[in-house]
Amino acid sequence: MKRTEIKDALQSDNFEVEMKVMGWVRTKRSSKNVAFIALNDGSTIHNLQLVIDLEKIPEENLANVHTGSALSASGRLVPSAGSGQRVELAVEHLELLGEANPDEYPLQPKKHSLEFLREKAHLRFRTNTFSAITRVRHAMIFAIHKFFNDKGYFNIHTPIITASDAEGAGEMFQVTTLDLNNLPLNDDKTVDFKQDFFGRAANLTVSGQLEAELAALALSKVYTFGPTFRAENSNTSRHLAEFWMIEPEVAFFDINDDMDLAEEMLKYLISYALEHCADDLAFLAKRLEEEEKNKKAEEKSMELISKLRFVLEQPFERITYSQAIEILKNSNHNKKGKFSYPIEKWGADLQSEHERYLVEKHFKRPVILTDYPKEIKAFYMKQNDDGLTVRAMDVLFPGIGEIIGGSQREERYDKLLQRMNEMNIPQETMWWYLETRKFGTVPHAGFGLGFERLMLFVTGMGNIRDVIPFPRTPQNCEF
């Protein structure tokens, strides 16, 4: 007999034929004549209730069935007498596929802390929370490709190993095959990378943007969706050392087109989740409500589903960095010294506390900030005529701060070269990037959406370590 997935079994009205299900036991309880097993196979958040008549199947057969064991069960689907479910399976045959000794199996049918589960990342997929997150994550990956495909974008793979540093920030992981205990040295004692695998120093990429630009300047509309790596030692709830980024890059786009695309995409993804992940989001909403029970009213976040709907309905506020600085500088929050980094003057880099103040307290909706000081932004951003600012745009979200960072790119060869010189970006390794401004250059723009930041928002989870299966953070690379 072929296996029926629990998702399908739960929706079936076919009470005549026998069916077989397989999965992992969430709970087992038995009374004198009957035993109940909640079985889950990951196809849905919901369990199938197995009903076992102990006169037909002796209780000894169930002795090794515990939370976490794997079972195959066949029988007939029947309308459920209990209130928790519509249908249940009246079991005729039961086979134990894999035991889980209750004295050793770490997951018990009770609430475990997220911190505890991070230490059990190999098993946490088996909890309701992580299976829900994993399904939502899949739906979002699919929706991202669908969004771009439907709009005629081409997905490109940009390299993961690179010799260029897109941000000039120097927070990269080095890739080498040199023997670290016996490094080849130049006369001046620096490492001789000519002897390394690529004949030069190489790193893991921090962004696929520069290569995506090359493709956009031929195919017009492209996007990347790949892993990116940052060796920044920031132990926050919003930073990973390895995360996934979606980077559209579009020829003939200016910064306004770029903002329109970012807003449209975020709204598309949120409404996709609401439409296709209703059961998982309902579960995650309840989880969040539980978690926030003990918080003070003013610290509570909005109910998850309402928050997602709310963002869909609001046009994002679009203001310049300079306007934002005025708002922040004059805010009571700033005057009362409530920011860890007080805002004193134009030019300050915004911290996530400032971003969240603008979104959560001031505008009460997502905000797109544009025209940042050139000193705090990357070399490739298009310079404004004021000589002070660049055509950057960051999208700020409630509970998160920056979710997207993007810009119109500098398409003028001279301006780009001048900025690279000012910022000490080595031209030798970037000659190919400069050539695109020499041959058929056009205005273009793009942005980077941090996939796990989107996941934080959609799932209502508070820590980025819990929305990626195997988080990479400083001192943490176990699984």
For binding to ligand ATP (CB under 6 A), which residues are involved? 167, 230, 239-240, 243, 245, 402-405, 448, 450, 452-453
Three-state DSSP state, 28: strand
We find the least distance from the C-beta atom of residue 406 to Mn ion, in angstroms, to be 8
- Does 448 bind Mn ion (CB under 5 A)? Our answer is no
Please, which residue, 71 or 262, has the CB nearer to ligand ATP? 262
> What is the rounded distance in angstroms from the CA atom of residue 143 to the CA atom of residue 420?
37
**Of 101, 47, 136, 146, the residue nearest 469 (C-alpha):** 136
**Residues in binding contact with Mn ion, number by CB under 5 A:** 1
Q: Which partner in Mn ion, ligand ATP, none is near 136 (CB below 5 to 8 A by kind)?
A: none
Please, which residue, 405 or 446, has the CB nearer to Mn ion? 405
Q: Which partner in Mn ion, ligand ATP, none is near 243 (CB below 5 to 8 A by kind)?
A: ligand ATP
- Does 450 bind Mn ion (CB under 5 A)? Our answer is no
We find the least distance from the C-beta atom of residue 169 to ligand ATP, in angstroms, to be 8
Q: Kindly give, in sequence order, each residue whose CB lies less than 8 Å from that of residue 294, ignoring residues fewer than 6 positions away.
A: none
Please, which residue, 405 or 460, has the CB nearer to Mn ion? 405
Please, which residue, 100 or 403, has the CB nearer to Mn ion? 403
Q: What DSSP string runs through 243-276?
A: EEEEEEEEET--HHHHHHHHHHHHHHHHHHHHHH
Q: Which partner in ligand ATP, Mn ion, none is near 353 (CB below 5 to 8 A by kind)?
A: none
- Cβ(355)–Cβ(396) below 8 Å: yes
Q: Phi/psi of residue 142, each to 5°?
A: -60, -45
Q: Which partner in Mn ion, ligand ATP, none is near 23 (CB below 5 to 8 A by kind)?
A: none
Q: Which partner in ligand ATP, Mn ion, none is near 38 (CB below 5 to 8 A by kind)?
A: none
We find the least distance from the C-beta atom of residue 258 to ligand ATP, in angstroms, to be 13
Six token digits for residue 21: 């299900």
Please, which residue, 77 or 403, has the CB nearer to ligand ATP? 403
We find the least distance from the C-beta atom of residue 469 to ligand ATP, in angstroms, to be 15
Q: Which partner in ligand ATP, Mn ion, none is near 453 (CB below 5 to 8 A by kind)?
A: ligand ATP
We find the least distance from the C-beta atom of residue 394 to Mn ion, in angstroms, to be 6
Three-state DSSP state, 168: coil
- Cβ(352)–Cβ(238) below 8 Å: yes
Please, which residue, 126 or 230, has the CB nearer to ligand ATP? 230
Q: Kindly give, in sequence order, each residue whose CB lies less than 8 Å from that of residue 214, ignoring residues fewer than 6 positions away.
A: 432, 433, 436
Q: Which partner in Mn ion, ligand ATP, none is near 292 (CB below 5 to 8 A by kind)?
A: none
Q: Which partner in ligand ATP, Mn ion, none is near 403 (CB below 5 to 8 A by kind)?
A: ligand ATP
Q: What DSSP string runs through 47-80?
A: PEEEEEETTTS-GGGGTT--TT-EEEEEEEEEE-
Alpha helices in 151-239 (DSSP H): 209-219
Strand intervals (E) in 127-214 = 154-155, 161-162, 174-175, 202-204
Length of the chain: 479
Three-state DSSP state, 29: strand
We find the least distance from the C-beta atom of residue 375 to ligand ATP, in angstroms, to be 14
Binding mask 25-44 for Mn ion (x = CB under 5 A): --------------------
We find the least distance from the C-beta atom of residue 232 to ligand ATP, in angstroms, to be 6
> What is the rounded distance in angstroms from the CA atom of residue 114 to the CA atom of residue 460?
14
We find the least distance from the C-beta atom of residue 429 to Mn ion, in angstroms, to be 22
- Does 405 bind Mn ion (CB under 5 A)? Our answer is yes
Torsion of CA 390, 166, 261, 281, to 10 degrees: -130
Please, which residue, 89 or 343, has the CB nearer to ligand ATP? 343
We find the least distance from the C-beta atom of residue 374 to Mn ion, in angstroms, to be 14
Q: Phi/psi of residue 396, each to 5°?
A: -110, 135
Strand intervals (E) in 343-415 = 367-373, 389-397, 401-408
Residues within the interface to Mn ion (CB under 5 A): 405
